[in-house]
Structure 1
Amino acid sequence: MIDENENVNRNAAVPYDEDNYTHNIRKDNERKLDRRSFLKTMAGAAGVFAISTLPWGAIAAKHLVNGDKRAYPKNKITALTDIGVGEAVEFAYPGEHDSALLVRLSEGTFKAYQNACTHLKCPVFWSKDQRELVCPCHHGLFDVHTGKPTAGPPKRPLPEIQLTVESGTVYATGVKRYET
C-alpha cells in the first residue's frame, strides 16, 4: 500500500532537472531579443526606410521647384468627323495604360481629362444628358469645362490634357500641371 505522504511528495516534485517553473523555455535561449535590442532594431529599420525614400523626395522637389518640364508625345485621338457635338471618346494618354476622355462641347470646343477620379481612381464617364463627368463609385461629379468637382467626395480637379486640332484631327499634346 502507498503512503499518502509519499504520493504528495511525488506530485510536488519538478518533472525536469531545471529549477524554473516555465519548462517550455530554456534559460540559455530565453532572451535572444530583449526590449532594448528590439527597439534598436526598429529604430534602425525606420532609419533605413527614411533614407531609402530620399531619392523620391529629391525628384518630387525638383519637379516642384523647376516646374514640370516633361516632354509629352503628340498622339492622335480622333478625326473631327468621328465625334459629334456632345459625344465623348476614350483614349490612352500620356502612356498606353493611362485612360483619358475627350468631350466635344461645341463645333470647335474640346475638353479632355484623365478619366481616373481624384478621390479613389475610379473611372469617370461622360453623361451626355447631365452634361457632366460622372464617377459612379461615390457619386462624384465634375464640371466638363474646368474639370473641378461639383459634387461628391472628390476635392481636386481632374488632370486636363492639352489638345490641338490640325487638319481635321484632334491631338493630345500634354498634361496641364495641377495647380491649387
Structure 2
Amino acid sequence: MTDWNNNLPKNDDNYTHNINRNNERSLDRRGFMKTLVGAAGVFAVASLPWGTLAAKELMGLSDKEYPRQKIVDITNIAVGDSVEFHFPSEHDSAVLIRLKENKFVAYQNACTHLRCPVYWVKDQQEMVCPCHHGKFDVQTGEPTAGPPRRALPEIIVEVESNSVYAVRVKRYET
C-alpha cells in the first residue's frame, strides 16, 4: 500500500500541470477583464479633450457673436414678403420676413422636429414645414401645430442705412 501523505506529487500528478502548455489560451478571464478595463480607461482619457471642447462650445452658444451680414436692402422687400439667406454660415439656411413697414423677423428655417425646410406662406401668414404639417408663429417662432415642440432659432436683425443686417442667433432658452 502506498502512503499518499508522505509522498510528494510527481509532475504528472500536479493539478496545475496544464497552465503553461503549448496551444493553450494565453489570456484568461482575469487577464481579459484587466485588458478591457484598461482599454476603457484609455478611451475615456483620450476623449476628455474633445468633451471639454464640446462643453465649451455648447456653453457659449448663447453668447456667440458672428460677423454682421447684409441680408437685403429695404427697397427690395415688400411688406408681407420674405427673403431667404444663409446665416451664420453658408450651410445654415434662414428666412427674413417683413411683417410691417419697420418690423422684420428672421429665423433659421430648419424645422426643430426633423430639420425639414420651413417656408413662409404669405396667404396664411404663418411659417409651414411641409414634411409633417408643422406650423410656427411668425411673431415668436413658437410651434402652433404639428409635431415640432421647440421654437425656431431666431436671428437677431438690425436695420441700418436702409439695409437689413443679420447680427446673431438667439439660441434656445432651457
User: Shorter-normalised TM-score: what interval?
Assistant: 0.7 to 0.9
Match of 2:93 among 99, 107, 113: 99
Pair 1:42–1:176, CA change in 2 (3 A): same
1:58-100 Cα distance to aligned partner (Å, 9 max, x none): 2343356566433311111011111111111100110111111
Amino acid at match of 1:133: M
TM-score scaled by structure 1?
Answer: 0.71
Across the aligned residues of Structure 1 and Structure 2, the Cα RMSD in angstroms comes to: 2.7
1:54 alignment counterpart: 48
165 and 55 in structure 1: CA distance in 2 versus 1, 3 angstrom threshold: same
Matched, 1:124 2:122: no
Alignment counterpart, residue 144 of structure 1, candidates 129, 138, 162: 138
2:68 matched to 1:77? no
| Cα distance between partner residues in 2 of 1:57 and 1:123 | 30
How many angstroms does 1:119 deviate by? 1.3
Instruction: Kindly indicate whether the alpha-carbon contact (under 8 Å) linking 2:65 and 2:167 is maintained by their aligned counterparts in 1.
Output: no
Unaligned runs of 5+ in 1: 1-27
**Alpha-carbon offset, residue 103 of structure 1:** 0.7
Contact 2:80-2:100 within 8 A present in 1 as well: yes
SS state of the match for residue 149, structure 2? coil
Which of 155, 161, 169 is the equivalent residue of 1:161? 155
Residue 57 of structure 1: CA displacement? 2.8
TM-score by length of 2: 0.73
- Could you tell me which of 103, 118, 133 is aligned with 1:109? 103
Q: Which moved more, 1:128-137 or 1:40-49?
A: 40-49
Identity, % of aligned positions: 65
Alignment partners' CA distance in 2, 1:30 and 1:143:
70
Paired with 1:151 and 1:29, the residues of 2 have a C-alpha distance of 67
- The residue type paired with residue 69 of structure 2 is N
